[in-house]
Amino acid sequence: MAGNITFTMIKPDAVRANNIGPILSMITEAGFRIKAMKFTHLNETTAGGFYAVHKERPFYGELVEFMSSGPIVAAILEKDNAVADFRELIGATNPAEAAEGTIRKKFATSIGENAVHGSDSDENAIIEGDYFFSNLEKF
């Protein structure tokens, strides 16, 4: 059975563009409940640790630099079928390929600066949520 938890970040590009409000609005209107949330600023170590699975990819250095370039909003979201439904709401990694009505279609500017993160599996949703939040911060 699909899990009911996913993890998201509103990335530095979307925070800089003042799009926290509109993005959170799209998320909650799509039926996701906020279970945990914080405004924080990753550094190279914490961004690198989060994206360690991509360490061998050619864009890793650029990704870590971008993700530590400004504050982000991190959140755990709850909904039935959370991971798949949230990937559908955010759209394709490359905004040029993202479907109409998705968050990335609306707010992302490039494949690197693509406004939001969404977990890719139930297992990673738990790992990623635990990277940012203690049990005292989840409700």
**Three-state secondary structure readout of the chain:** CCCCEEEEEECHHHHHCCCHHHHHHHHHHCCCEEEEEEEECCCHHHHHHHCHHHCCCCCHHHHHHHHCCCCEEEEEEECCCHHHHHHHHHCCCCHHHCCCCCHHHHHCCCCCCCCEEECCCHHHHHHHHHHHCCHHHCC
Task: Please give the residue whose beta carbon sits closest to ligand ATP in the complex.
Answer: 93
The entry of ligand ATP, Mg ion, none that residue 46 binds, CB within 5 to 8 Å by partner kind: none
Measured from the CB atom, is 48 or 118 closer to ligand ATP? 118
For the question of residue 117 being annotated catalytic, the response is yes
Q: Which is nearer to ligand ATP, 99 or 139 (CB)?
A: 99
Contact between 63 and ligand ATP per CB under 6 A = yes
Q: Catalytic residue among 103, 116, 117, 118, which? A: 117
Q: Is 93 in the site for ligand ATP (CB under 6 A)?
A: yes
- Size of the chain, expressed as the number of residues it contains: 139
Q: Active-site residues: which are they?
A: 117
Binding residues vs Mg ion (CB under 5 A): 120
Binding residues vs ligand ATP (CB under 6 A): 54, 59, 62-63, 93, 111-112, 114, 117-118, 120
